[in-house]
């Protein structure tokens, strides 16, 4: 689930970067601009409690997938928006389905985490979410510069559609299901850390302190962090 929420927040950051440019060009005042930008989160807020009840009955995995399909649909709709009325209704759709994803996703993380490790896995979930918001605006800026301010909406739709299929294939309901997520990624992190340790030892044995301290130490640190953080995925 952490990987899926990273994909979503990454895509959302791309879309929001472009949405601010698109809305700013249409808005006649900063007040109207602020209202439009806040609409998605308003409707997400209003639907959080009903969404929780829906997820309890419908199933968390299905609710997450439904939210991602709806968000993908809203991205394709945003590409065709030409006025504020259309933009308003598309943002309503976005806000409702965003609530489906985030509420059901967090509940799924808690319920499917190994007993006694719920806080650890929630931490991984929120970290992945924040990381998406860090990387996304940079990619969004490049997309606008290279392709214009319509393509990021399509990128958002395609990425969310991809995430929906990933959710259908990988997500599992039930206690302890998180233990089966990304086992290859976890093993890759551990193996990479081991390999860089061996490389650093080899450079030291060859008597090249510069290569040891600079060329191997930093990658080894990165591999070590990757190996440890992959345990939370």
pLDDT per residue as tens digits for the range 14-73: 777 667 666 655 656 667 767 777 777 777 777 777 777 777 777 778 888 888 898 889
Phi-psi region of 176 (alpha: psi -120 to 50; beta: other; left: phi over 0): left
Q: Last residue of some domain: 137, 165, 180?
A: 180
Q: Which residue has the higher pLDDT, 49 or 104?
A: 104
Report H helices in 59-150: 60-79, 84-112, 118-147
pTM over 0.75: no
The reply to whether 223 and 141 lie within a common domain is no
**pLDDT for 212:** 43
Residues 93 and 106 reside in one and the same domain:
yes
Residue found under tokens 């290859």? 184
Residues 21 and 78 in one domain: yes
Q: Please indicate, yes or no, whether residues 58 and 162 belong to a single structural domain of this protein.
A: yes
Is the model more confident about 54 or about 183? Answer: 54
Do residues 112 and 158 share a domain? Answer: yes
Q: Say yes or no: 6 and 87 in one domain.
A: yes
Range of 17-31, 108-122, 126-140 with top mean pLDDT: 126-140
For the chain, how many structural domains are there in total?
2
More confident residue, 188 or 204: 204
Domain limit, last residue, from 144, 165, 180: 180
Same domain, 174 and 193: no
Whole-angstrom distance, CA of residue 75 vs CA of residue 32: 21
CA 95 to chain centre: 16
Q: Are residues 91 and 205 in the same domain?
A: no
Query: Do 188 and 175 have their domain in common?
Result: no
User: Given phi > 0 = left and psi -120 to 50 = alpha, else beta, which region is 157?
Assistant: alpha
* CATH number of residue 36's parent domain: 1.20.1250.20
Same domain, 52 and 117: yes
Please give the pLDDT value at position 142.
Answer: 80
Is 158 in the same domain as 196?
no
Among residues 230, 138, 162, 145, which one has the least CA distance to residue 193? Answer: 230
**Structural domain range at position 207:** 184-232
> Which of these three, 159, 180, 201, is where a domain ends?
180
């Amino acid at each position: 689930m952490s990987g899926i929420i990273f994909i979503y927040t990454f895509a959302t950051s791309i879309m929001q970067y472009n949405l601010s440019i698109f809305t700013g060009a249409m808005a006649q005042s900063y007040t109207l601009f602020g209202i439009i930008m806040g609409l998605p989160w308003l409707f997400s807020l209003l639907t959080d409690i009903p969404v929780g009840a829906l997820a309890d009955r419908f199933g968390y995995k299905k609710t997450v997938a439904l939210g991602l399909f709806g968000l993908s649909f809203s991205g394709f709709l945003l590409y065709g928006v030409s006025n504020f009325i259309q933009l308003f209704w598309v943002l309503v759709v976005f806000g409702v389905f965003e609530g489906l994803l985030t509420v059901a996703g967090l509940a799924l993380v808690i319920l499917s985490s190994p007993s006694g490790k719920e806080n650890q896995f929630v931490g991984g979930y929120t970290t992945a979410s924040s990381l998406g918001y860090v990387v996304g605006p940079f990619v969004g800026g490049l997309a606008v510069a290279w392709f214009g301010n319509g393509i990021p909406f399509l990128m958002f739709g395609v990425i969310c559609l991809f995430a929906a299929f990933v959710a259908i294939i990988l997500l599992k309901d039930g206690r302890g299901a998180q233990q089966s997520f990304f086992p290859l990624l976890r093993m890759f992190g551990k193996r990479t850390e081991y390999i860089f340790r061996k490389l650093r030892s080899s450079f030291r044995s060859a008597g090249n302190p510069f290569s040891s301290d600079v060329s191997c130490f930093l990658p080894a640190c990165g591999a070590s962090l990757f190996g440890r953080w992959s345990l939370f995925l």
